[in-house]
Amino acid sequence: MLTQQQLKENVAVAAIDYVLPYLKPDTIIGIGSGSTADLFIDQLAQFKSRFKGTVSSSERSTTRLQSHGIEVFDLNDISHVPVYIDGADEIDAGLHMIKGGGGALTREKIVASVADQFVCIADESKCVDYLGAFPLPVEIIPMAREAVARQMAALGGRPKLREGFTTDNGCQILDVAGLRITDPKALEARVNNIPGVVTCGLFAIAGAGVALISTQTGVEQRKPA
């Protein structure tokens, strides 16, 4: 029986095989955040001479990339990102995701939005029939904390401030438990429209184009159902 760490390591290797055809001397790829993305970065380092560099969705990933000698560019200076690689806290059969357990959801969503293709890398424990068992992160402007919390409670959630945490954008996060998300696109649009919300951790309106899922029998490539 493979451990979760071994499953993550396997999918990081599979992700390298997936992105190798994209790695050209002028290529800049997008890199996400989290423990699985960390493993992907470590694997990517051995191929750093093949491509120009990266754009990163968090200070954590930027530090790790630079420690390997991989150049990180400002997204404002980049016109083309062919592929973005990132993990997920939950993913359903439609490749809609909850992300943001590490707090980088806004920058992850920004980098994903400019990439030609979003590739989600995850182990099988992240696969669910319905999103919501993992509390939904909602990044908020601090002055709107209680106003947003009341609206999330009205939607059936149990919002809780992530104590002692500030995002790379200087904002706060409400983690909203108790949601069973049957229409992730509609909920994403509704939550994002609440005044004071920077963005929520639903990646459904623009979900992953492909998922690499690490299982006990190997890494499976999945497309939206």
- Establish whether 38 is an annotated binding residue: no
108 an active-site residue?
yes
- Establish whether 103 is an annotated binding residue: no
- Establish whether 86 is an annotated binding residue: yes
- Establish whether 149 is an annotated binding residue: no
> How many beta carbons lie within 10 A of that of residue 51, not counting itself?
20
Give me the catalytic one of 108, 124, 139, 220. Answer: 108
* Cβ atoms of residues 109 and 86 within 8 Å: no
- Establish whether 101 is an annotated binding residue: yes
- Establish whether 34 is an annotated binding residue: yes
- Establish whether 87 is an annotated binding residue: yes
- Establish whether 99 is an annotated binding residue: yes
Antiparallel, parallel or unpaired: β 97-98 and 90-91 = antiparallel
- Establish whether 32 is an annotated binding residue: no
Q: Output the known binding site for substrate.
A: 33-36, 86-89, 99-102, 126
- Pick out the residues of the known binding site: 33-36, 86-89, 99-102, 126
Catalytically annotated residues: 108
